[in-house]
Amino acid sequence: MKIPVIALCDTNNILKNIDVCVPLNNKGKKSLALAYWLLAREILIKRGTIKSRDGYKVSVEDFETAGK
Kindly report, residue by residue over 4-62, the tens digit of the pLDDT: 999 999 988 899 999 999 999 988 889 999 999 999 999 999 999 999 888 899 999 99
User: Is residue 40 one of the residues assigned to a domain?
Assistant: yes
pTM over 0.85: no
User: Is residue 26 one of the residues assigned to a domain?
Assistant: yes
Our count of domains for the chain comes to 1
pLDDT for residue 68 is more than 70: no
User: Is residue 1 one of the residues assigned to a domain?
Assistant: no
CA 28, 29, 33, 39 torsion-angle sign = positive
Give the range of the structural domain holding residue 41, as residue numbers without chain letter. Answer: 6-63
Partners of residue 20 on adjacent β-strands: 6
User: Is residue 68 one of the residues assigned to a domain?
Assistant: no
Q: State how far the Cα of 68 lies from the Cα of 52, in Å rounded to an integer.
A: 34
